[in-house]
Amino acid sequence: MHYRYATRREGRLALDYNEYVGDLHPGLLDSLSRRPDVIRSYPALGTCSLEAEIGRHLALDAEQVILTNGADDAIFHALLALNRRGLRSFAPFESPTYDHLHGFCACLGIRQAAVEDAELIYVCTPNNPTGTVLEPEAIRRMVDSNPERSWIIDVTYADYCDHDLSSYVDALRRTPNACVVTSFGKALPMAGVRLGMIVTWDRELHEYFDLHYNRKLPNHVARHLMRDMLCHLSFYEEQRWQIRRNRQRVREAVLDLFQRMRTSTRIHAPDPEGGNFVTFFGENHVLQDLSQSLDRARVAVRHKAEHAYLRVTSFSDSYLDVFERRLSRLKEGSHGPVAHGDVSTNHAPPERSSHRGPEPSCPTSGLKLPD
């Protein structure tokens, strides 16, 4: 997998990493300033107070909640624990999907197999990058119908669809062959401090983390900030709703910019089902030109060349205005800074393209699916 990274992110809108693009609660930094000890000290080892608090929100016992250094850490250690028990093959439920999965498996010698032969199925819902959403009960039926397989259910973007994290936890409750993983850097502004989670009912997985995981992770700052955010969940829920609502405006604005590039090649941007992003499929060189145009608008976009798609983050209301003003200046031929008070230009939605690019695949033919 090859990426096109922005060489400089300062002063740019964060379009490339799907971070939470919304406002911080006004009291968050004040709360941290009153507790300088959380910056200069390790977390208290052996305590599970934050796990217990999160567990209360999800109707779980504290021992069923394992906090990690981001979702990457959760996925990697879940794979490592299963690998120690003999896991040798995996298959993604949909392709393309979260690309770091393939790197983690390669590091551990876990090979990708056909779905009918895979010992582990990885499900990402909403899927990154396609935004496909699987219903919680549909996943539960597949897990119950394939008890011989292990399942990792990645719900990092679940709070940007009609089924939130708690919906998937409820559906998969007491399924020992499945674990739920998530990151708090998408639904909450936690990407910089790295906080993720595994929910599992597998006793052996718990034992692995008790014996082998570094309990200094996640760090003290992440734990403190998470406690504060749990007190203001409604504030962040409102902003997530704005981000969901604004995905279509972001989609139309970028498609309009693409039309102005005067190219005969088409791109396809499916209506997003879930996630805090919009994905554009098309030919590699066209997507590179589009990402470069967005860069000149002082925004940064990561281009994933292997599958020829471009993923653009959606915004809350306050950020969306800035995004549209910058695109408006770009369309007018000016790439300089946006003056305060610029008015965004609204354009009619562009004609939907018939070119769909590579079709995502869901290799369900080898799974036992309930009637």
Instruction: Grade residue 363 by pLDDT with cuts at 50, 70 and 90.
Output: low
Take residue 158 and report the two structure tokens written for it: 């679940």
Report CA dihedral (96, 99, 103, 108) to the nearest 10 degrees: -70
| pLDDT, tens digit, 9 for 90 and up, residues 251-300 | 999 998 888 887 778 888 888 789 999 999 988 888 888 888 887 777 77
pLDDT at site 371: 53
Q: How many whole angstroms separate alpha carbon 198 and alpha carbon 169? A: 10
For residue 132, give the 3-state DSSP assignment. coil
Q: How many whole angstroms separate alpha carbon 95 and alpha carbon 97? A: 5
pLDDT at 213 over 70: yes
Q: How many whole angstroms separate alpha carbon 112 and alpha carbon 110? A: 7
Distant-in-sequence contacts of 47-51, Cβ < 8 A, 24+ apart: 50/223, 50/226, 50/227
pLDDT at site 260: 82
pLDDT at site 369: 60
pLDDT at site 246: 93
pLDDT at site 300: 75
Q: 28-231 sits in which CATH class? A: alpha beta
Burial zone of 8 (CB within 10 Å; 0-12 exposed, 13-18 middle, 19+ buried) = exposed
The Cα-based distances of 315 to 143, 165, 246, 370 in angstroms read 34, 20, 7, 38
pLDDT at 41 over 60: yes
pLDDT at site 349: 32
Q: Select the more confidently predicted residue: 38 or 165.
A: 165
Query: Which pTM value belongs to this model?
Result: 0.86
Which is it for the CA torsion 51, 57, 63, 69, positive or negative?
negative
pLDDT at site 343: 27
CATH superfamily of 235-331: Aspartate Aminotransferase, domain 1 (3.90.1150.10)
Instruction: Grade residue 352 by pLDDT with cuts at 50, 70 and 90.
Output: very low
Residue spans of the domains in the chain: they are 28-231, 235-331
pLDDT at site 265: 82
Q: How many whole angstroms separate alpha carbon 221 and alpha carbon 242? A: 27
For residues 125-135, give the mean pLDDT.
94
Ramachandran angles phi, psi of 168, nearest 5°: -75, -40
| pLDDT, tens digit, 9 for 90 and up, residues 302-340 | 776 666 888 899 988 988 888 888 888 877 764 443 333
Q: Which residues contact 325 (CB under 8 A, 6 or more apart)?
A: 338, 342, 343, 344
Q: Please compute Rg for the chain using Cα positions.
A: 21
